[in-house]
Structure 1
Amino acid sequence: MKTADIRRTFLDFYVRNGHSEVPSAPLVHPDPTLLFVNAGMVPFKPFFTGEETAPWERATSSQKCVRTLDIEEVGKTTRHGTFFQMLGNFSFGDYFKEQAIRFAHELITTGQDEGGLGFDPADIWVTVLGPGHHPDFPDGDTEAIRYWQQVGVPTERIQGRGLEDNFWNMGVPGPGGPCSEIYIDRGPEYGVDGGPAADEDRFLEIWNLVFMSEELSAVRSKADFDIAHPLPRKNIDTGMGLERVAYLLQGVDNMYEIDEIFPVLDAAADLAGKNYGDNHDDDVQLRVVADHVRSSLMLLTDGVRPGNEAREYVLRRLLRRAVRAMRLLGVSQPVLPTLLPISKELMGASWPEVLENWESTSAAAYAEEEAFARTLAAGTQILNTEAAKVKASGADTIAGGPAFQLHDTYGFPIDLTLEMAAEQGLKVDTAAFRSLMTEQRDRAKADARAKKGLTTSTEAYRLLRADGESFFTGYSELAEETSIRGLIRDGAVVEVARPGETVEVVLAETPFYPESGGQDSDAGVLRIGGVDQKVIDVQRPVPGLIVHKIVVEGIELHAGQRVAALVDSHYRRGACMAHTATHVIHAALRETLGEGATQAGSYNRPGYLRFDFRSNQALSHDLREHIEGRSAEAIGDDFAVTATEMGLDDAKALGAMAMFGEKYGERVRMVELDGAWSRELCGGTHVAHTSQIGLLTLTGESSVGAGVRRVEALVGRDAFDRLAAERSLVMTLSDTLKVQPDQLTDRVQRMVTQLRDAEKQIAALQAEKNRAGIGSYVESAHDMWGVAFIAQQTEVAAGDLRTLAQEVRDRLGDRPGVVALIGGTQAKPTLVVAVNAGARERGLEAGKLVGIGAAELGGKGGGKPDLAQGGGTDAAKAPEALKAIEYAVGHVLQS
C-alpha cells in the first residue's frame, strides 16, 4: 500500500464518519515557542486551550511536521527523521474515549479492499495508563481497558504503563489526560515477546489516542503535575505516524525504505557508486541524504529559504548536511539537481504545492549548494591553517574558538570540523565549542526578549484570553473609552502595577494596532486617571489577545480602571501610507517580473517600508526605475483601497495573495487596490485611496538569501526629504565642478577615467621600482641546509607584494628557496610566502608557513604549497613573524 494511499484511506475513513477534513497547516507556524509545526495537534492547539472556538465538532487531518532536536542522530539509526506526516482525528467536546477507540480499531483491522488498513487483529497490542501512578487516577484508566476489551483486544495484550508513556500534557499548565497507544507486533525476528513493555523494536507504536479530560494547574515534568479540575468539554487528539504505518504495510524494515524516501536514497547510492546495505558508514550517509533532501524540499515549499537565523538556519543546515554526506561518499559534483526532482515527484502525489512551487524552491536549493561549495573551499583553508598552527605548537587539539568561528561564520557543521581535524590526526575542544554555542543561544534569546519585552511563557496570556477576546476597533476608531481587563508583569498576571514598573496592559477593547502582517504597532497613550501612559509596543502574543507595553508613570494601575486609549493619528496615517505602498510595490513587482515574484516577508512603519520577494536575479537599474514608475502611476491613478471580510476559500478563488508566515482562519479580510490589480489577505490598516500615499521612492535593492531579494522605499514626507537631499547634493556637485546638472554624469565619468589612468601609471612605476630591487632581495638570501631563505619587511603595498614575492622566487632559478615578505601598512600588515619546486621537494609548504607567520602578526592566512598569503593587525611583530617562519623552515629541514 503506497504512502499516499494510506494517507487517503485514513482521511476518507474519518470523513465517512462525520469528520471535516482540515488541510495541513504550513510547516512555518506563528506560535512563538515553535520553529516549525512538530505534531499533528499544533494547528488545533488554540481550540484545545480555549483560546478560540473550533469551527467543527469533529476533524481529521494529515499534518506536515518537522522535528530537529535529534538531527545529529538522523541516519545513525533508522528511527530518527526530520520531516514526517502525522495523521489524526480530533473531537472538540463531541465523542470521547469509547468512540475514539472504536474508530481506531475499526480502521486498522478492516481490510484494505473495504476501506481500512488491513492489520491482523492478532498483531495488535495496546497500552493504557496503569494503576498507582497518580492520585487522581488510582486505578489507572479502567475505562480504556474496558473499551479495548469490547472491540476484541484480549486482556493479555492490554498493558498498563506509567505517566511518562501514557499521560499527555503540553509541558505547561493547560489541558491534558491519559492516552492509549497502539502497537503492532512485527514478529520474533525483531525481538523478544512480551508486548511493548518488553521490546519496542519488535512491538512498534503506530498511533497514540489522547483522552483530553483534565485541566492541569502545574506541570513540573511529564510525570509530575497537578490537576486542577476536569475539563468542561472533553476532547480527543490522536496522532498516527504515517511513515511507520507505511513501512509496516510495505513490508520493509524502516522508514528509509518506504516508497516516498527510498528512491532518493537509491539515486544517491548510484551517484556514489555504492550499494545500500554493504557498509554501515555508507548507509548512515545515504540515510542522511534521503531524509534531508525530502525535509528540505518540504520546508522550501512552505516558503522557508536558507539563511543564518532560526528556521532559515535549520534549512541551511539540512541542505548542507545532505551535500556534505555526499562528499563523504566521494561525490564532489552538484547532487541536488539529481536528487531533489526525484523527491518532488514522490511528494507531489500527496502535496500538490510541491509541484506548484517547484521553480522557486529548486532554484533556492541549487543556489545554496553552490554557496556551500564555496564555503567548503574557504572553511577548509581556514581549518588547515589552524591545524598547521596547532601542529607547529606541538599540541593535538584545535581550540573551541576556531571551531565555533567555522560554524558561526562559515556555516561549517561541527561534525564536519571534527571529521576534517581527525583526518589530520587532531582533536577538537568540543566542550569549549558547546559552551560558546550556549552563550550565543542565550544572547539570542535575551536579545529577542529585550526587543519586545514580552514574557517567555504564554501562560499569563492564556489565562487572560480565557476571560474573553480583546476587540480591535482601530479600523474605524483612533480613540476608545474602555477599561483594564488585566495586567502582566514579569510573566505573571498581577493585581496592581506601580510607578516605574514595566507592564503589559490588556484592555476590553482597543484601537491600537498590534504588530502583525509586516506592519509595526501603533503609537499613542493610555490616559488613566488623568495621567498619560506612553505606549511603547503593542503585540498579539496569543490569538484574540492584544497587550500594550508601558512603563507606569504617576499612579498605580489595577484591573477595572477606566482608560482612554488614544492612538497617535499622525503616526497611524503614516503607517497606513506605508502599508498600502507595500501592496502597491508587490503588485508592481508581480506585474513586471511575473507571478513568481511572490512575497517572502515585509516590514512597514510610518515613512518607510521594505519588501522581500522571490527572485534569483538582482533588479537592474532600468527595472528599478520601471517598478518605481509603475508604483507612481498607481498612486496617481487614485485607486480605491477597499477591505472586505469573506470566507478563506472565496478569497483564494478571487486570487487573493496570502502574507508570508501568517495564519488565517475561516473568515479573512481581503484588501483590494483597483480590484484585481492587487488582492491580498491582510489585517493591516490602509489609506482610503492610493493618492493619499503621496510620494514613493525606492532607496535600495539587495539580496537577503538564496532566491530572495529585498527592495526598500520611503513614502510621504520621508520620500520628499530624501529627494530634496539628493537634489541639494546634485546642486552642490554641479557648483563645485562648474557644470550644469544634466552634464554632471559625463563630468564625473571623465574624472573617474582620469583617476584610473593615473593609478595605472603609478602602479606601473611602482612595479618597475620593485623589479629594480629584486637583485638586492636575492643577495640577502642565506643558506639553510641547502635552501635559500629570504625574509624581509618592506614598504611595498599589499597589492604588489604577491607579485614581488613570486618574481624574487623565480630569480632563484633551480636553487631551492623560500621567500617570506611582509608589507602593507602598520595597522594591516600583509605576509606573502613563496616556495619553489626544489624547496617543496624538501617538505616545505607556503600554506603552512604563512599560517605560522600570520599568527605572530595577530591574524591568519593560508594558500597553496607554492604560494600563500596572510595578514594581521600589528606590523611591529614583523620580526617575530619572520623568525617564526625561519624556525619552522629549519625544523622541517632538520627532521
Structure 2
Amino acid sequence: MQTHEISHRFLNYFKSTGHTQVASASLILEDPNLLFVNAGMVQFKPYFLGDVPPPYPRATSVQKCVRTGDIDEVGKTTRHNTFFQMAGNFSFGDYFKADAIKHAWTLITSSQADGGYGLDPDRLWATVYEDDDEALALWQEIAGLPAERIQRRDMVDNYWSMGVPGPSGPCSEIYFDRGPEHGAEGGPVADESRYLEIWNLVFMQHLRGEGHGKTDFPILGELPAKSIDTGMGIERVATLLQGVDNVYETDLVRPVIGKAEEMSGRRYGSGNQVDDVRFRVIADHARSGMMLIADGVTPGNEARGYVLRRLLRRIVRSVRLLGVTEPVLGEFAAVVRDTMSPSYPELATDFPRIESVMRKEEETFLATLASGSKIFDLAAEQIKADGRALLPGDKAFQLHDTYGFPIDLTLEMAAEKGLSVDEDGFRALMAEQRARAKADAASRKTGHGDQSVYRELLAQGPTEFVGYESLSAEATVRGLIRDGQRISGAAEGDIVEVVLDRTPLYAESGGQESDAGTITGLGVELEVLDVQKVARKLWVHQVRVRGGEITEGQHVEANVDPEWRVGARQGHSGTHVVHAALREVLGPTALQSGSYNKPGYLRLDFAWSSALSPETRSEIEEVSNLAVRKDLPVRVVYTDMGGAQELGAVALFGETYDETVRVVEIGGPWSRELCGGTHVEHSSQIGPITLLGESSVGSGSRRLEAYVGMDAMRYLAKERALVQNLAAMLKVPDVEVPGRVEALIERLRTAEKELEKLRAGQLLSSAGTLADKAEDVNGTSLVALQVPDGVGGGDLRSLAVEVRNRLGSRPGVVALFSADGDKVAFVVATTSAARDNGIAAGKLVPSFAAAIEARGGGKPDLAQGGGANAGGIGEAVNALRRALDGS
C-alpha cells in the first residue's frame, strides 16, 4: 500500500466516524517552546489548554512534523528521521479511552478491502501506563488482546505531557511484531527494533504542575474535561504495509536514494555501511529541507534558518563523500517534489522558489568549502613545519563553527595529508556549544503563562470586531485587567487592559500596527496605547486613564483616530501593491516572507538571493505607482481555504488561518492575498509610493522599505530641498548636480592617490637610514623598531623589503611594527645569508607574538600579520632580540 493511500485511508476512516478533517498546519507556528511543529497535536494545543473553545468536538489530521534534536544520528540508524508525517485523531472533551482504543483497533485490523490496513491481530501488542488498569482491561475487552501481549511501562515511556504545566495523562502504545529475524522475543520491553511502535494513544486526564524532565513534576488532579490525542506514524505503517525493512526503503524515501545512486555510481545496501549512512542522510534531509523551505524558512545563521542550513549542507557533504562534486540539490528537490506533491501540492506549485533557495545555498556552501580548504591547508602546513602530526581539536572546531566545514571532510583531508585529528577535543568543544545552546533555549522557554483571566472572558464569547465597517462603536466593558488579575475599576493615570464586547479598533496582526484611538464613557476618557488579540478571538486594549474612573460593566464608546486609520489603510494596501509589483517585475517566486506597516510606512521582506539593481528598484516603484494611478478597485471576499486557493490568493508563510478566510483583491487577480488588515477602497487612495531602499536581512531574504501617502510627499520634498541646496552650493542647475558631484569625487580620489604616492616615497626614502641603524646580535644584523603610526600592511611590507635589500650580503633580520590605536601591523624579513644560517622569518613570529597578542605567519623569507596590543611593541622587539641571541 502506497504512503499516500495510508494517509487517505486514515482520514477517510475518522471522517466516517464524525471527526472534522483539519489540514496540516505549517511547520512554523507561534509557539515559544517549539522551533518547528514536532507532533500532530501542536496546532490543537489552544483547545487542550482551554485557551480557545474548540470549534468541533473531534478532529483528525495528517500533520507534517520536523524533529531536529538528533540530526547527527540521522543515517547512523534507520530509526532516526527529521521529517515525518503524524496521523492523529483528537477528542476535545468528547469520547475517551474506550472509543480511542476501538477506533485504533478497528482501523489497523480491518481488511484492506473494507478500508483498513489489514494488520494481523495476532502480531499486535499494546503497552499501558504502570497503574492504568482501565486501559489494560479495555484492550482485553475491545481488542481481545491476551494479557501476555499487554505490557505495563513506567512514566518515562508511557506518560505524556507538553513539558510545561497543563494537561497530561497516561498513554497506550500499539506495537507490531516484525518477527524473530528482527530481534529478541519478549514484547516491546525486550526489543523495540523487532516490536515496532506504530501508534500512541494519549489519555489526557490529569493536570500537571511545575517541574522538569519526563518525571519530575506533580500531578495536581483530574481534568474537568478528559480528552484524546493520538499519533500514528505514517512512515512506520508504510514500512510494514510495503514489506520493507525500514522507512528509508518506502515509496516516498527510496527514490531519493535511487537518485543518489545514479549520480554517484555506488549502491545502497551493498555492504558499505559508511556509504549507507550517507545515502540515508541525503534521503532524510532532502525531504526535510524541501518541506521547511515550502513553509517559508530560508537558510541562515540563527534558529530555524541555521537548522535548514545544516540539513542542506549535510546533503552536499554526504554527496561529496560519495564522490559527486557537481551541484546536486536541484536534482534531489525534483525527486522530492514528484514523490511528495500528491499530499503536499505546494511543493509543485512553489517549486521554482524552493529550488532557487536550495541552489543558492549549495553555491554558498561550495564557496565555503573552497575557503575552508584553504584554511585547512595553511593549518596543515604549519603543523608539518612544526614537526607535529595532529590537527588540534580547536582548529577542527573553528573550521566547523566559523566556516561551516564538516568534521567528516576535515578527517578525510587530514588523512590525505598524513595527519590525524584530535576528535576528542573537537567533540568536547561541540558538547560545550550544545550545552550553551540548550541552556540558552531553556532560559527562553517561557511555557504557557496564566491565561485563566482571559479564558474567563473568552467564555463569555469572542470580541465582535466592527472596524471594517465603522470607526466607532457602542460597547460594554467586559473586563479590566492589571498584572494578570481582574480588577473592578481603574482611576486617572492608571494603565490597564480593557476587554470590550465589541470594538472598532484593529488589533496588531498581519504586520499591521494596532489602531490609535479613545474609549470614552460617562465621566471617563481612556487613551488607547495598544490593541492585541488573545487566542485570536479576544481584543485586549491597553489604555491609559486620562480622566475619571472606568469600571467593569460600564457602557462606553470606542473610537478609532480617523487620521491614523487613513494612514494605516494606505500603509497596508501599499504593502499589497508593492508585493504584487515585486512579483510582476521579478516573477512569482519573489514571495513575501514578512511585513510591517503603519501609517505612512511599509516594510516588506521577500525571498530573493541577490541585491536588486537600481533599475529594478525603479521599475518596482513605477509599477506600484501605475497601480495607484489606475484607481484599481479593492474588493474583499470571504471564503474557505479551498476557495481561496482556487482564486489563486497568496497565503503568507507561518500565518495561521481560520476556517473562513478573508481575501483582499486589488485590481482583481493582479493582487489577491489572504489578509485580515484594513484597506483602502480604491488604489488611488494609497497616494504616492516612494521606495526608500532595499537591503539584505539574511541569506536568501531581502527587504524593501517605502513611504506612502503624505509621508512619501514629505520625503520627496526633503529630497528636493537637498538637491536644491547642493545646486546652490555648487552653483549649477539641479540636473547637473550628479555630474558635478561625480567630478568632485574623482578629483578627490586623484588627490588622495597623489598624496599616497608622496607618503610611500617618503617612507621608502628612510630605508637607508633604518639599515644604517642595524645592530649586531649574535652575528646577525637586526633592524627591529616601530615606524610611524598608521602605516598599513602593504607599505610596511615594501619598507621592510627595501631595508632588507640595503643590508646586502650579510645575515640580517628586519622587523618593523606600526600601531593604529590598539592594533599592530608587523612584517619580518630575512636576508638570504640569514636563511642559510637557519633563521626563518615565519619561525621568528612566535618569539614575540604573545607580547602584542599577534596572529600571522609566513615563509622563511617574509612573514607578516597583526596584533591587538600596541603597548607591547617594545617588549616584542626585546623578545625578538633575545630569540636571535639564543638567550
TM-score by length of 2: 0.84
Aligned equivalents of 1:532 and 1:383: distance in 2?
A: 69
Q: Give the letter for the 1:117 counterpart.
A: Y
1:699-745 Cα shifts (integer Å, max 9, x gaps): 10122233322211012232222212211211121111111111112
Q: Which runs of 5 or more structure 2 residues have no equivalent in the other structure?
A: none
| Corresponding residue number in structure 2 for 1:246 | 238
1:628-666 Cα shifts (integer Å, max 9, x gaps): 122222222333323232232222222222223211122
Is residue 821 of structure 2 the alignment partner of residue 826 of structure 1?
yes
Q: Give the letter for the 1:654 counterpart.
A: L
Q: Give the letter for the 2:304 counterpart.
A: R
1:782-833 Cα shifts (integer Å, max 9, x gaps): 8999998765433473263375278559959999987654336335443355
Q: 1:652 aligns with which of 619, 642, 645?
A: 645
Give the 3-state SS of the residue equivalent to 2:663 in structure 1: strand
Map 1:779-790 to 2 at 5 A. Answer: none
Q: Give the letter for the 1:423 counterpart.
A: V
Given that 2:777 and 2:881 are in contact with CA atoms closer than 8 Å, whether structure 1 keeps it comes out as: no
Aligned equivalents of 1:635 and 1:866: distance in 2?
A: 68
| Corresponding residue number in structure 2 for 1:136 | none
Aligned equivalents of 1:329 and 1:866: distance in 2?
A: 41
Map 1:85-96 to 2 at 5 A. Answer: 85-91=85-91, 96=96
Aligned equivalents of 2:693 and 2:85: distance in 1?
A: 41
Map 1:346-365 to 2 at 5 A. Answer: 346-365=339-358
Which range moves more in the overlay, 624-633 or 215-224? 215-224
Aligned equivalents of 1:545 and 1:321: distance in 2?
A: 44
Q: 2:207 aligns with which of 203, 209, 216?
A: 216
Which range moves more in the overlay, 505-514 or 774-783? 774-783
| Corresponding residue number in structure 2 for 1:135 | none
Aligned equivalents of 1:890 and 1:634: distance in 2?
A: 80
Aligned equivalents of 1:708 and 1:363: distance in 2?
A: 12
CA drift of 1:777 comes to 6.4
Aligned equivalents of 2:396 and 2:34: distance in 1?
A: 28
Which range moves more in the overlay, 21-30 or 606-615? 21-30
Which range moves more in the overlay, 869-878 or 468-477? 869-878
Aligned equivalents of 1:707 and 1:846: distance in 2?
A: 44
Does the C-alpha gap of structure 1 residues 873 and 14 become closer, same or farther in structure 2, counting only changes over 3 Å? Answer: same
Does the C-alpha gap of structure 1 residues 803 and 5 become closer, same or farther in structure 2, counting only changes over 3 Å? Answer: farther
TM-score by length of 1: 0.83
CA drift of 1:872 comes to 4.5
Q: 1:187 aligns with which of 179, 182, 190?
A: 179
Given that 1:403 and 1:417 are in contact with CA atoms closer than 8 Å, whether structure 2 keeps it comes out as: yes
Aligned equivalents of 1:838 and 1:40: distance in 2?
A: 75
Map 1:649-798 to 2 at 5 A. Answer: 649-769=642-762, 772=765, 791-795=784-788, 797-798=791-792
CA drift of 1:305 comes to 0.7
1:175-204 Cα shifts (integer Å, max 9, x gaps): 555432111112334443222233333322
Fraction of identical pairs, as percent:
50
Indicate the RMSD between aligned Cα atoms, in angstroms.
4.7
Aligned equivalents of 1:790 and 1:273: distance in 2?
A: 61
| Corresponding residue number in structure 1 for 2:60 | 60
Give the 3-state SS of the residue equivalent to 2:697 in structure 1: strand
| Corresponding residue number in structure 2 for 1:804 | 798
Given that 2:800 and 2:827 are in contact with CA atoms closer than 8 Å, whether structure 1 keeps it comes out as: no
| Corresponding residue number in structure 2 for 1:126 | 126
| Corresponding residue number in structure 2 for 1:149 | 141
Does the C-alpha gap of structure 1 residues 733 and 411 become closer, same or farther in structure 2, counting only changes over 3 Å? Answer: farther
| Corresponding residue number in structure 1 for 2:463 | 470
CA drift of 1:207 comes to 0.3
Is residue 253 of structure 2 the alignment partner of residue 261 of structure 1?
yes
1:319-374 Cα shifts (integer Å, max 9, x gaps): 33444556677777655345444444443353232222222112212222333345
Does the C-alpha gap of structure 1 residues 790 and 338 become closer, same or farther in structure 2, counting only changes over 3 Å? Answer: farther
| Corresponding residue number in structure 2 for 1:107 | 107
CA drift of 1:692 comes to 2.4
1:756-785 Cα shifts (integer Å, max 9, x gaps): 333333344445555555566677778999
Does the C-alpha gap of structure 1 residues 171 and 818 become closer, same or farther in structure 2, counting only changes over 3 Å? Answer: same
Given that 1:832 and 1:850 are in contact with CA atoms closer than 8 Å, whether structure 2 keeps it comes out as: no
Does the C-alpha gap of structure 1 residues 854 and 529 become closer, same or farther in structure 2, counting only changes over 3 Å? Answer: farther
Given that 1:851 and 1:861 are in contact with CA atoms closer than 8 Å, whether structure 2 keeps it comes out as: no
Q: Which runs of 5 or more structure 1 residues have no equivalent in the other structure?
A: 132-139
Aligned equivalents of 2:7 and 2:772: distance in 1?
A: 81
Give the 3-state SS of the residue equivalent to 2:29 in structure 1: coil
Q: 1:230 aligns with which of 224, 228, 236?
A: 224
Give the 3-state SS of the residue equivalent to 1:705 in structure 2: coil
Give the 3-state SS of the residue equivalent to 1:685 in structure 2: coil
Aligned equivalents of 1:375 and 1:735: distance in 2?
A: 50
Aligned equivalents of 1:278 and 1:815: distance in 2?
A: 65
Given that 1:178 and 1:210 are in contact with CA atoms closer than 8 Å, whether structure 2 keeps it comes out as: yes
CA drift of 1:603 comes to 0.8
Q: Give the letter for the 1:149 counterpart.
A: E
Which range moves more in the overlay, 105-114 or 117-126? 105-114
Aligned equivalents of 1:848 and 1:4: distance in 2?
A: 65
Given that 1:176 and 1:216 are in contact with CA atoms closer than 8 Å, whether structure 2 keeps it comes out as: yes
Does the C-alpha gap of structure 1 residues 432 and 353 become closer, same or farther in structure 2, counting only changes over 3 Å? Answer: closer
| Corresponding residue number in structure 2 for 1:134 | none
Q: Give the letter for the 1:511 counterpart.
A: P
| Corresponding residue number in structure 2 for 1:22 | 22
Aligned equivalents of 1:186 and 1:502: distance in 2?
A: 64
Aligned equivalents of 1:648 and 1:118: distance in 2?
A: 34
Q: Give the letter for the 2:663 counterpart.
A: M
1:91-150 Cα shifts (integer Å, max 9, x gaps): 45665544433332233234446543332222100123443xxxxxxxx35266335533
| Corresponding residue number in structure 1 for 2:606 | 613
| Corresponding residue number in structure 2 for 1:207 | 199
Given that 2:507 and 2:515 are in contact with CA atoms closer than 8 Å, whether structure 1 keeps it comes out as: yes
